[in-house]
Amino acid sequence: MTSRIEDYALIGDMQTAALVGRDGSMDWLCLPRFDSPAVFAGLLGSEEHGSWRVAPLSGGPATRRRYRGDSLILESEWETPRGTIRVIDFMPPADALVGAPVVVRIVEGVSGRVPVRSELRMRFHYGKVVPWVRREADGRTVAVAGPDAVWFDSDTETYGRGLTTYSDVTLGEGDRVTFTLTWHPSHVEGPLRTDALAALADTEAFWTDWMTRCTYQGPWREPVVRSLITLKALTYAPTGGIVAAPTTSLPEDVGGVRNWDYRYTWLRDAAMTLGALLKTGFVDEAKAWREWLLRAVAGDPENLQIMYGVGGERRLTEYEATWLPGYEGSHPVRIGNAAAEQFQLDVYGEVIDALHLGRQAGMEGNDHAHALQLKLMDYMEQHWRDPDEGIWEVRGPRRHFVHSKVMAWVAVDRTIRMLVEEPMDSDTEKMLEHLKGVREEIHREVCAYGYDAERNTFTQYYGSTELDASLLLIPQVGFLPPEDKRVIGTIEAIQRELTEDGFVRRYPTNGTSVGLDGLPGDEGAFLACSFWLADDLAMIGRVEEARELFERLLALRNDLGLLAEEWDPRLQRQVGNFPQAFSHVPLIDTALRLTATLRTGPVVAAE
């Protein structure tokens, strides 16, 4: 049986990522990219679907674990009756490598003499394919299946049994053994061996250097730094694309069907991630994402997708991995994501706002980015009146979602600001007058059709009575000031009707019956929405209440500071894909707002 979601740790190299449980089992790893087939898929089945355990022979969870400083180097220690060992897990960063992804595991004896076992089961294509494993003349082990080869190196003896590669060793104080696993194309000569100790030093230096750019200084520096490191780990270094999460099909409803593949670049999530990075001093990542965006959208900005592959791929065909039983029986396991074909109007606002934030942060001008924004604006202007699937990617009918219209307003507003700051030509004034008219028209329509005057709250979509947590973004994007009675009414309505144990759900779900989103079942409280509520409370002057909620949210992080997509108040556990950028981004944003509020008073809107 797999571990609880929050029992996993993340390691990665900005090309792909692995999840390591408290028991020392690496149960998830896709090679060579985030969205490649997994070689360890035990997370969605059992150890027989691929896993790699390095732990004391006696087994059991680690006594303690931590990340080494401000890095992604995991250290796990086991105290046993026979002594103590430490396992150090990491992946050397992509831009520090000559070649392909490498996983390094170093085992150190701390005290006594402890028997240790490495138990490696490689299963390609999400646990479906057993590779052909052979021992080379130089003692290296290589596993091959089709185009993929994985090379296993160790400075201790290994043996094979039952389609598994083992190594048994007893470590005393000061003893050390190393293991490395390297992906390589199967049709070319094998990679060079990795010097594990040199790679450790290089990896620690990389993270130490990267964190020197962080500009945040405040009472929540530790959670902010860990969130920034997590967001960096979810960035695909070769292109600058940012994945929503490194996993697929971790359930929003344990045992249910709300299981999705998040190993792609959502423009919305990436744009929000970009904003958090820019606000904390990481401009290089913003530049890389902007270049990724220009390449991904090139040639067809009118058909902007809501998500792409990390290289900018458009086709993300969804299918079910029927041979995998799913995390705790949650199936189907989905590979690919059919939501890539949806129309989500709000994405135009998020992308244009991200470009605006980049200019505010001092990124040098880019004529292509300027032209892209105007192209996107042209298309959005023609289609803002259309219904869409909305921010939550409902698999039911399209509707006029209020949040989508608000973000259409944001797209127009930020384009107006761009033209004011960077006039184009003699037609700029005429264009500005036209866009101001469009902005006012959208604003009037939203306030007329998306607002329930009797209940004093905005609603999920035009004419509905339901609420939606995305409405919490109305004051944050500047659509209305926080002191507006309609904003305060919406915040209070969401607190009354969409919270459970103080945490916020995205929208109402209907248990066993099919709801608005076209799916049966329920889901947990959505962590991003709960952070948004804390933001709004700070904006309307309820700072202590905001701070209390923020601290409660921080307490939901696992022992390593990581968050999944949701929190299930009934089961008291994290649910959804893990770790989730869409949870760590608003954590950073809320920390920034609360820090500024405590210093100077309420900050009325995010610029």
407-455 pLDDT, tens digit each: 999 999 999 999 998 777 778 889 999 999 999 999 999 999 999 999 9
- Mean pLDDT, residues 341-369: 83
Residue 207: helix, strand or coil by DSSP? Answer: helix
What pLDDT is stored for residue 443 in this prediction?
Answer: 98
Instruction: Give residue 138's pLDDT.
Output: 87
Q: Which residues contact 73 (CB under 8 A, 6 or more apart)?
A: 11, 67, 88, 89, 90, 200, 203, 204, 207
Tokens at 428, concatenated: 């700029």
Does residue 349 register a pLDDT over 80?
yes
pTM of the model: 0.94
Q: What CATH number has the domain bearing residue 177? A: 2.70.98
pLDDT at residue 95 in the model: 61
Are 204 and 227 in a shared domain? no
- State the Cα–Cα distance between residues 290 and 351, nearest whole angstrom: 10
What CA–CA distance (Å, rounded) separates 326 from 307?
A: 24
The residue assigned the tokens 């609420």 is 467
In residues, how long is the chain? 607
Query: Does residue 604 form part of some domain?
Result: no
Of 111, 463, 479, 356, nearest in space to 471 by CA: 479
Q: How confident is the model at residue 354 (pLDDT cuts 50, 70, 90)?
A: confident
606 belongs to a structural domain: no
Per-residue pLDDT band at 269 (split at 50, 70, 90) = confident
Examine the pLDDT at 2 and tell me if it is beyond 80: no
| Structure confidence by residue, pLDDT tens digits, 322-340 | 999 999 999 999 999 998 8
Q: Which two tokens stand for residue 144?
A: 């091959």
pLDDT digits (tens, 9 = 90+) for 90-127: 999 976 444 689 999 999 999 999 999 999 999 999 99
Domain that holds residue 483: 213-598
Q: In whole angstroms, what is the distance from residue 120 CA to residue 366 CA? A: 48
In the chain, how many domains are there? 2
- Cα within 13 Å of Cα(605), Cβ side: 13
> Which amino acid is residue 184, in one-letter code?
H
Domain contains 100: yes
Residues above pLDDT 90, as percent of the chain = 76
> Are 522 and 392 in the same domain?
yes
- Per the listing, tokens 């103590």 go with 84
pLDDT tier at 519, thresholds 50, 70, 90: low
CATH number assigned to the domain comprising residue 423: 1.50.10.10
Is 467 inside a domain boundary?
A: yes
Give dist(CA 40, CA 47) in Å, integer: 8
In one-letter notation, the amino acid at residue 224 is V
Between 361 and 527, name the one with better pLDDT: 527
User: Residue 489: pLDDT above 50?
Assistant: yes
CB-based contacts of 282, cutoff 8 Å, min separation 6: 213, 214, 228, 232
% of the chain at pLDDT higher than 70: 95
pLDDT computed for residue 371 by the predictor: 84
Report how far residue 29's alpha carbon sits from residue 53's, in angstroms, rounded to the nearest whole number.
Answer: 13
Same domain? For 284 and 307 the reply is yes
**pLDDT score recorded for residue 358:** 83
What's the rounded Cα separation, in Å, for the pair 277 and 3? 31
Within 371-484, strands assigned E span 451-452, 457-458
Give the Cα separation of 17 and 29 in Å (integer).
6
Residues 244 and 186 in one domain: no
Could you give phi then psi for residue 80, rounded to 5 degrees?
-120, 170
Q: Pick from 191, 210, 229: which residue ends a domain?
A: 210
65, 203: one domain: yes
Is the CB of residue 602 less than 8 Å from the CB of residue 543? Answer: yes
Last residue of a domain, one of 144, 177, 210: 210
Q: Are residues 324 and 427 in the same domain?
A: yes
Q: What Cα–Cα distance (Å) separates residue 530 from each residue in 209, 374, 459, 486? A: 32, 34, 18, 19
Sign of the torsion formed by the C-alpha atoms of 597, 598, 599 and 601: positive
Does residue 98 share a domain with residue 65? yes
In a shared domain, residues 140 and 267: no
384, 422: one domain = yes
For residue 426, being part of any structural domain is answered with yes
Q: Indicate whether 399 belongs to any domain.
A: yes
Q: Quick one: 188 and 327 in the same domain?
A: no
Please tell me the distance from the alpha carbon of residue 340 to that of residue 393, in angstroms, as a whole number: 9
Give burial (CB, 10 Å; 0-12/13-18/19+) of 299: exposed
User: Is 16 part of a structural domain of the chain?
Assistant: yes
Last residue of some domain: 165, 182, 210? 210
Closest CA to 438 of 379, 359, 353: 379
pLDDT on residue 513: 44
Pair (198, 259) in one structural domain: no
Same-domain pairing of 377 and 313: yes
Phi, psi of 24 (to 5 degrees): 85, 10
Residue predicted with more confidence, 119 or 354: 119
Q: How would residue 260 be classed by pLDDT, with cut points 50, 70 and 90?
A: very high
Strand 241-242, strand 235-236: pairing: antiparallel
Question: Would you say 442 and 408 are in contact if contact means Cβ atoms under 8 Å apart?
Answer: yes
Burial of 582 (0-12, 13-18, 19+ CB in 10 A): buried
Name which of 130-134, 507-511, 549-553 the model is least confident about.
507-511
Residue 494 lies in a domain: yes
Taking only the tens place, the pLDDT of each residue in 492-508 is 999 999 999 999 999 88
Residue 512 pLDDT: 46
Give the pLDDT mean for 507-531.
Answer: 72
Average pLDDT, the chain: 92
Find the DSSP H helices in 221-330.
221-233, 267-279, 283-297
Residues 285-305 pLDDT 10s: 888 888 888 888 876 767 788
